[in-house]
Structure 1
Amino acid sequence: MAKTEVIKFRDFMDGTWKQPKSKQADVKKVRDTLVKSGVLIPLAFSTAAQAHAAESIKTVASTAIAGTTLQLLAHALDPVTQIFVALSLPIASIVLIGGCYFFMFGQSERAWTTLQNAGLGYILIQLSPLFLKVLEQVGKSI
């Protein structure tokens, strides 16, 4: 009997459930750094001697925030994409069966169009996560 994996809702929504454990630990370290830097920034501005330390903390915090924000925005719609990919096979099957009925009723031109559109739609939906990853990589390289 197969084991059932339970995923926390927060991990599912932020996409960390599909990342390796080492990547999850990195995300938690960034979050901890953000919390600590949020506490330390007001203290760093209290004296002029610590101005340099405050600048380095601000730089680290802004870099961590930018990276985390970009990752959250890039993967915000991953659950929706996964639902579409999961539903594409049953829907394509129903449309293909409908196309076969068009053959039975003597409308072969409409049947071929329906079968072709169902097959092409299924393939494009299955490849949509790949397209999104390519777009993400292009965005990172710019």
Structure 2
Amino acid sequence: MFKSNKIQTVGTVKEFLNPSTTTSPKKDIVPLLATGTTLPLIFSAMPTFSFAESVTASTSVKTEVSQKIITAFQPLTDLVQGLSYPITFLVFSAAGIYWLIGNRPKAVEMLQGATIGYILVQLSPLLMRLLVSVTAGF
């Protein structure tokens, strides 16, 4: 549909790579003067590029990717946080039973483990944001 059946030959590869220098171009001073007077206008109309704009664009892309990663893992972190409540309650209850039985070192060990685990699970969104922000620099 978009294909052209005509084949146009412009020249050979040899002619392209080695243009003939036998014909000398006709030198005319008027085009040179016209070019010289319009040159400042051309340079003043050229767009300027700033490094800060490209950094801002790449920073916004990194921020956007970071937010997508965080929102992708949000259901998983919510699930783990939701499961941490009953599991911590069960471990605290078991530690209380060990305390009542007289196995206090085991009860203290369970209380410490449950407390540290609960705190780490509750801080998991913060830890994930920290990891994403650290890896966004690479």
Q: Which has the higher contact order (CA 8 A, sep 6+)?
A: 2
Between Structure 1 and Structure 2, whose CA radius of gyration is higher?
A: 2
- TM-score in terms of structure 2 length: 0.50
